[in-house]
Homo-oligomer: A and B are copies of this chain.
């Protein structure tokens, strides 16, 4: 009885119901007990690395709570943010492929709780759950489309528009609060890293946009009023 309650508490710690996320939702119900055995809830503090570019791929993470950035470094003082992730998003899957190292890093932007699935088990899951594999394939296809669109923008679109784009994408991703701000706190440096430019340029452009009445800024968040 006591032991039972203890077990419950331990499980209760992560609260994952084995049916909400991409991974569980697309797995056969017969497979869920296997997932239950293999999943591992992990905590990351704000600013902490979840996985590191260049390191051996250990597995995938499904974010249960918090937000993270997925980024790729350039030299030792520049980076490009490839994607933001929040509750329900899978990260680390870029580590799939022939190479056994992560091509990007994942960093918690605020405290993150994530469900870790080791690579071995993840691969087994793909072999067993065809729908999971199919949907993951489609997900990669979508991400590739996004990536190539952004790459084209990086090559041809002027910074100002890239910054606007970045702001739109961020607000779209994290939603809008009642008072019309993007539901996230984010540094201008990270906006710059996402838009593929420098802090100074983001600073300038955002000033312009505020003057033009297109966005509003308050501390480390912003809200889009009208664009274009």
153-176 of chain A: CB within 8 A of chain B: 154-157
- In the assembly, how many copies of this chain are there? 2
Chain B interface: which of A1-9, A13-21, A136-144, A213-221?
A: A136-144
Number of residues of chain A lying within 8 A (CB) of chain B: 40
Select A156's contact among B78, B127, B141, beta carbons within 8 Å.
Answer: B78
A126 lies within 8 A of chain B by Cβ: yes
Contacts of A149 in B (CB 8 A): 72, 103
Contacts of A144 in B (CB 8 A): 94, 140, 143-144, 147
Q: Are B152 and A96 in contact (CB under 8 A)?
A: no
Q: A133-B130, A156-B75, A196-B154 are in contact. Are A82 and B140 (CB under 8 A)?
A: no
Residue picked from A80, A99, A197, most chain B C-beta under 10 Å? A80
Chain A 42-77, CB-CB to B under 8 Å as 1, else 0, gives: 000000000000000000000000000000101100
Q: A137-B140, A154-B154 are in contact. Are A145 and B94 (CB under 8 A)?
A: yes
65-116 of chain A: CB within 8 A of chain B: 72, 74-75, 78, 80, 82, 93-94, 96-99, 103-104
A134 lies within 8 A of chain B by Cβ: yes
Whole-angstrom CA separation of A151 from B209 in the bound complex? 26
A72 smallest CB distance to B (angstroms): 5
A39 lies within 8 A of chain B by Cβ: no
A30 lies within 8 A of chain B by Cβ: no
Q: Are A96 and B138 in contact (CB under 8 A)?
A: yes
A148 lies within 8 A of chain B by Cβ: yes
Residue picked from A97, A103, A147, A148, most chain B C-beta under 10 Å? A148
Q: Are B138 and A97 in contact (CB under 8 A)?
A: yes
Q: Are B156 and A74 in contact (CB under 8 A)?
A: yes
Contacts of A93 in B (CB 8 A): 141
Which residues of A line the B interface, CB within 8 A?
72, 74-75, 78, 80, 82, 93-94, 96-99, 103-104, 126-127, 130, 133-134, 136-138, 140-145, 147-152, 154-157, 196-197
The 3 closest A-B pairs by CB, nearest first: A155-B196, A140-B140, A137-B137
